Homo-oligomer: A and B are copies of this chain.
Amino acid sequence: MNEIAFDSRECGSCPIRHRAVCARCESDELERLEEIKFYRTYEAGQPVLWAGDQMEFVASVVQGIASLSQTMEDGRTQMVGLLLPSDFIGRPGRDFAPFDVVAVSDLTICCFRKKPFEALMTSTPRIGARLLEMTLDELDSAREWMLVLGRKTAREKIASLLSILARRDASLRKQAPRDGMSFELPLTREAMADYLGLTLETVSRQISALKKSGVIVLEGKRKVLVPDLEALIDETGDDMDGGLIV
């Protein structure tokens, strides 16, 4: 996700967050960030914020996965973002949460009170610039996901999600994605369905179908092995190179 190297020890106990926002920043900025931060943890399934809530902090994901989602009155739900470690929650300059934020797995986030963070942003333009860069990345990701939602078949959708998860999993442990890699599925079938605009039954069926055609191998229900990465990417319908970055 974030290419910038930054020695994590210098950042104290919240390395990822600092790497995300303060890349290349000077140490006094780091210290000022240290002063205003605190941690929160949530269990899988717990809400972090409801749409419309007052947000008194911005945060970054340290560990675990959170989701951004919207629900219609009749219960139809669409996940609009998956927040993995190093992703940013909240928006300077905005007071209310636009979407529900829910802990998908056990979750630790590193929070910064919004007011001081905003003050820091105006006094340190680099932070704002970095945030703009991150937001533009997220916007591109959201738009790429619109192709998935609007035009892909169920099978292509599943393959797209798996290939994203595989790549992000690899990059979190700083490896290149490779053949024969395996990773843990952090989402229930229902959460996958909500992300992909499908039902959980269809998700289950398509995973079974990919398994049957040998594109993936399941170890238990939540562990996926990808014997041939290119075969999986083939199933996404994307052209080889471009590829989703989420």
Chain A interface (Cβ < 8 Å from any Cβ of B): 68, 70, 72-74, 76-78, 80-81, 91-94, 98-99, 122, 125, 128-129, 131-133, 135-136, 138-140, 142-147, 149-151, 196-197, 237-239
Contact = CB atoms under 8 A, between A and B. Distances in A.
A142 B68 CA distance: 13
A135 B94 CA distance: 13
Contacts of A150: 78, 149, 196-197
Contacts of A239: 72-73
A49 B128 CA distance: 28
A82 B144 CA distance: 15
B99 A151 contact: no
B139 A72 contact: no
Residue from the set A81, A139, A140 with the largest chain B CB neighbour count within 10 Å: A139
Interface centre among A74, A80, A81, A92 (most CB of B within 10 A): A80
A99 B81 CA distance: 20
B143 A70 contact: yes
Nearest to A52: B242
Contacts of A144: 70, 80
